[in-house]
Amino acid sequence: MFKIVFTLLSFGLLNLALADIDDPPWRYTHRQPADDWEKSQFDDRTWEKGHGGFGTRMTPGIRVSTEWTTSKIWLRRTVTMTEVPETPALYLFHDEDTEIFLNGKPVAALKGYVTEYKVIPLEGEAKAAVLSGDNLLAVHCRQTTGGQGIDVHLIDANNVPKLPKPKQAEHPFKSDLITEWGAKVTAANVWQEYPRPQMVRDHWINLNGHWDYAITPQDTSRPEEWEGKILVPFGLESKLSGVQRHLHDDKALWYRRALTISPSTGKRVLLNFEAVDYHTDVWVNDTKVGSHTGGSTPFQMDVTDALKADGNNTLIVRVEDNLDTYQLRGKQHEYPHGIWYTQVSGIWGSVWMEEVASDHIQHLTIQSKRDGTVAIQIEGTEAEASVTASLNGEPVATAAGAGMITLKIAEPKLWSPDTPTLYDLTIETAEDTVKSYVGIREVGRTKDAEGHYRFTLNGETIFHWGTLDQGWWPDGLLTPPSEEAMRWDVDYLKAAGFNMIRKHIKVEPRRYYAYCDRIGMLVWQDQVSGGPGSPWIHLGQNPQDATWPAEPHAQYMLELERMITTLESHPSIVVWVPFNEAWGQHQTVEVGEWTVKRDPSRLVNVASGGNFWPVGHIVDRHAYPEPDFPFHEGPNGRFDPFIKVVGEFGGHGLPVDGHLWDDSPKNWGYGGLPKDADEYQERYQKSIHRLAELKQQGIAGGVYTQTTDVEGEINGLVTYDRKQIKIPAKELKALHQLLY
């Protein structure tokens, strides 16, 4: 019988329970060490520490705790054995060539790679190298191409252990990239703008800035100590938060700050969160004022009754974020790689308060028709309200009533990308006044002379031409560093001749859509994806849906409803996209029919690039790198009732030195990387010419991947830090005239 205590990894051998295993780190380096690096007397204290295994997490068969992406790695650890087993062995995974030393003596030389863990008995001189007591295990692994990984253990071959789960990193990858706007962010200037531009009150309190934070086990009732300051509204893992730590699935994130406010007689105090990922509990003083589940849309709590009369209050927020199987999480991933990005936990949207009348307006839904009819649904009060519409400060229409109010604007100036006219609205009751706006427009479709459906705006045919826009930032992750930064992206695309943005698997701050309303940018709005999907057959026949339990499906529908309710009054949004590809795609027909009924004023692309079901208005193909559409896969008129689009294509990559999230070889673009910037532009031009050809064949819209680089993706028109534009907007606009 023997016991192994690993300096990096330990196992439950024989009767040793897994729960009792210690799991300290290896020492490792990616640089060629000095001679005798494998010997006991070598000083490895300057090497890095990391938990095993090492490698890339998409490599089949290996558990990875520490990312290793270089061509070589050297590892050292001490293994303490109470006695030498009769059948000592190595238990390992290697990809690729590996040398292993025990107490300075070579015991294995392995070529190539394996796809599962192997037991390699130690015999002869190798067995003799095993000692009772401390043993130095040293490993050198080399990698040439593809996935990679190394994980080595000393075991008893007669008692092969069960591998413990890989360690979760305490900190996300820390890149040096920062935007010019992020470099200017301070606790005093962070996100000062009113967060709800379609229902504005004059007086509000901004709670953005430094808060106390702590991370505790989930069963902790309240932190005993606070660990430091976090800058709200930036997620825990982001550079701008000032913390850059992971929130593991067995932990809770806590926030605390003072609230200096006392309620006025007859007034209510409302606490607003623009976005918190994912489950939130909130206390004011010692009173729990509410909970919320969902990571992408705003929510509000009435905290009046929990406030102290003297105005000295404490706000505490608790967050869990587990990224579990069905959680709607978008592009976040516990182990970022490829198209998956850094996890974002906690508050990532503005936090603010306002004092309102007891009888106040809670929500507005604004709809319009191109004849000038504007319908305003007022929720939260039954009081009589008056509505005034004005243009350039001059009133153009008024109406009064309760609940639903309709007014008619004579000779309306219609909203479009070329003429984004917005009418100001003032809504008044006896106790409340809010300001809003409306863009008068109608979204539809029509058949062209060849029988192909086309998009229409205000009755006129329009080709939808946009980019796939992830909305991620190297410094703020999901949160733009500032409104100025957020607007920069939209301004660049507008100047480049795009008339549409596909907002990809993310809900932006409400001010983003207000800016698109102001400058005339169409938006396809994706639902945030998550959960298991089904086999992806694109537009093939006989698709299958994933099977979701009732509770996760109900949460999916709740978050879809919240997104539509939050954003439906923005004229810029013209298409809803419930699913992306086959990711989380389930009950497609039910979801599509619900969305069409929920908002008949817009078009529905039920599954962009996903498995095609005959529901909604759009059939959408994803094709990389060149745009394409399988017209031949629509026999017997399968696609005829739908608008045909290429919902993703391109993705041409171009790395720009000094502006990469990570200098590792994992950076990628579709179709391989060009030899230089000239070839990159040639590839882009070829794709646009191909899309123009497809337009003549019946394609009504296209979405180029993508606006900016994002982490390991280098297929943006702009670098991730927004400091280098790969193709100037003026050149793009001239080229894009082919599509109009």
Amino acid at site 432? D
Tokens 């695309």 — which residue? 493
Find, among 601, 202, 662, the residue nearest to 375 by Cα: 601
pLDDT at position 633 is 84
For residue 293 the two structure tokens come to 């589940």
Cα-Cα-Cα-Cα torsion 283, 286, 288, 293, nearest 10 degrees, comes to: 40
The rounded distance, in Å, linking the Cα atoms of 579 and 434 is 35
* Count of CB atoms situated within 10 Å of the CB of 499: 22
For residue 628 the two structure tokens come to 């394409």
The rounded distance, in Å, linking the Cα atoms of 342 and 330 is 11
Please tell me the total number of residues recorded for the chain in this structure: 740
Are the C-beta atoms of 193 and 218 separated by less than 8 Å? Answer: no
DSSP code of residue 547 = P
The CA–CA distances, whole Å, from 6 to 40, 44, 573, 692 equal 15, 16, 56, 61
pLDDT at position 336 is 87
Find, among 333, 170, 344, the residue nearest to 241 by Cα: 344
Domains, in order of start, for the chain: 4-156 (2.60.120.260), 182-357 (2.60.120.260), 363-438 (2.60.40.10), 443-739 (3.20.20.80)
pLDDT at position 23 is 56
569: helix, strand or coil: coil
* Count of CB atoms situated within 10 Å of the CB of 192: 11
- pTM for this model (two decimals): 0.90
Are the C-beta atoms of 41 and 103 separated by less than 8 Å? Answer: no
* Count of CB atoms situated within 10 Å of the CB of 566: 20
The rounded distance, in Å, linking the Cα atoms of 15 and 12 is 7
pLDDT at position 103 is 97
Question: Residue 523 forms beta bridges with which residues?
Answer: 501, 573
Q: Tell whether the torsion through CA atoms of 542, 544, 545 and 547 is positive or negative.
A: positive
The rounded distance, in Å, linking the Cα atoms of 214 and 227 is 5
Task: Extract the residue ranges of the chain whose pLDDT is less than 50.
Answer: 1-22
pLDDT at position 18 is 32
pLDDT at position 15 is 32
Asked if the peptide bond before residue 96 counts as cis, ω within 30 degrees of 0, the response is: yes
DSSP code of residue 444 = E
